[in-house]
Amino acid sequence: MKKPTDRELIVSLDIGTNKITVLVGEILDEKNINIIGIGNCNSKGVIRGEIVDLESVTQCIKIAITNAENIAKCNISSLFVSISGKDINCQNERGIVAISDEEVNKEDVENVIYIAQSIKISNKKKVIHVIPQEYTIDDQNGIKNPIGLSGIRMQANVHLTTCDNNLAKNIIKSIEKCNITINQLIFSGIASSYAVITEEEKKFGVCVIDIGGGTIDITIFINEVIQYNKVIPYAGNIVTDDISYAFNLLKNDAEFIKINYGSCIHKNIEKEEKTKFIKLKNKDIKPILKYELFQVIEARYIELLQLVNVEISAIKNILEYQINKKISLSIVLTGGGSKIKYLVPCAKKIFCNKNIRIGNPIKIKGLTEIITDPIYSTPVGLLHYGRINKINNKINNKNIKNFNSYLKYIYQWLKKEF
């Protein structure tokens, strides 16, 4: 049995528009994480993923961290942190190098990726992800791991994700005020995909649509690698605003009604449902006809999904032109906004696609009754991202250790012989 000090812990922080969440996970193996701590705090000072009140956000983060520490019985010193906002952008770039010794080594790979990412980027932008997609050696393409392969010239296709410099700086400031180290900033759409999709879906083509409170994050995978991401700065909160305006309600009451009574489809509901009213206890408000509520919600969700469909269709056309092949994408809906009733049938109308599902976090143990909710896709995905990061670091450290041992052996042999 592992001692508490032997546990491999990893911590995530999701700074959402509506909620700030901290999760503490224990790495069980190469695939699974045991969730041992959770801390939540209603967001203050965040609008559509962007910080507008640094002090308020810092206080919320401190509360969430303290709650998670108390449950996990540990001290948090570092975090993997989500980032989103309208200024998140992406581009796919290429780099080419001559192979140094007729056989690809680690230095060749590092060089070709460096060249691919060395394009001129605005001073207002910060690169947060550099993700290799595939390599080509001479005339052989589709290579995932080129090390050890022979050739003369190597090309790398690389996916870059950028964000606004000030957006990143503000997030970093808020966390440093808590005396916590940031392991890495990770686009929340990429993080969510780590939590909800399978390797098979990545291979055949999948679009993850994370519907949060302030933003919709879109991430597309084809041939196992990320091809595109995008942020739409409208999401679940705009539905709440519509309900508030249509029925003259306070925002909190509108949000409560949306979560507990909302539906994405108003047609074909049972006749008795059409005439039912919603009345909040202890609230002096006019009863709301369910049918009218559903109409308001459906209209806005259709508009939001149509915005997403425009983005997906545009990038599909570009990618199909590049690879000269038709692309079929399955759709995975996740995030708090995906919990609305009948979202999948509504989405099928917009995307004309039968392969649509709601994505819940997978490969986790521990507080599963809470954490398997789609609202936790991003913080769980951050943990999986961190788990993979730690495993890769272990492999690299082991390789360095083995190489150093080899050098030491050579040195001792040379010393003995000469």
Q: Which domains does the chain have, with CATH numbers?
A: 89-164 (3.30.1490.110), 236-299 (3.90.640.10)
The number of beta carbons lying within 10 Å of the beta carbon of residue 217 is 30
For residues 239-258, give the mean pLDDT: 91
Alpha carbon distance 306, 312 (integer Å): 10
**Residue-level pLDDT at 407:** 47
**Phi-psi map region of 128: left, alpha, beta (phi>0 left; psi -120 to 50 alpha):** alpha
Confidence tier at 249 by pLDDT (50, 70, 90)? confident
Reported as a single tens digit per residue, the pLDDT across 268-285 is 565 555 556 677 766 667
Residue 143 in tokens: 């290579």
Share of the chain above pLDDT 70, in %: 88
Name residue 108's amino acid. D
Q: Is 346 exposed, middle or buried (0-12, 13-18, 19+ CB in 10 A)?
A: buried
Point out the least confidently predicted range of 62-71, 162-171, 321-330, 389-398. 389-398
Q: How far apart are CA 216 and CA 48, in angstroms?
A: 9
Cα distance between residue 216 and residue 214, in whole Å: 7
Q: Is the C-alpha dihedral spanning 373, 365, 41, 234 positive or negative?
A: negative
From the CB of residue 89, how many other CB atoms can be counted at a distance below 10 Å? 15
Q: What is the mean pLDDT of residues 336-348?
A: 92
Residue-averaged pLDDT of the chain = 85
Band (388; pLDDT cuts 50, 70, 90): confident
Q: DSSP 3-state assignment of 18?
A: coil
Identify each DSSP E strand in 49-205 by its residue range.
Answer: 50-51, 78-83, 89-98, 125-137, 140-143, 153-164, 181-187
Q: What are phi and psi of 10, to 5 degrees?
A: -145, 145
Per-residue pLDDT reduced to its tens digit, 287-331: 788 888 889 999 999 999 999 999 999 988 888 887 777 888 899
Mean pLDDT confidence for 30-50: 89
Task: Read off the pLDDT of each residue in 123-146 and give the average, rounded to a whole number.
Answer: 89
Does residue 416 surpass a pLDDT of 70?
no
> How much is the pLDDT for 11?
94
The residue behind tokens 């369910």 is: 290
More confident residue, 100 or 200: 200
**pLDDT at residue 71, as a whole number:** 93
pTM confidence score:
0.87
Query: pLDDT digits over 176-230, tens only?
Result: 999 999 999 999 999 999 999 998 999 889 999 999 998 999 999 988 899 999 9
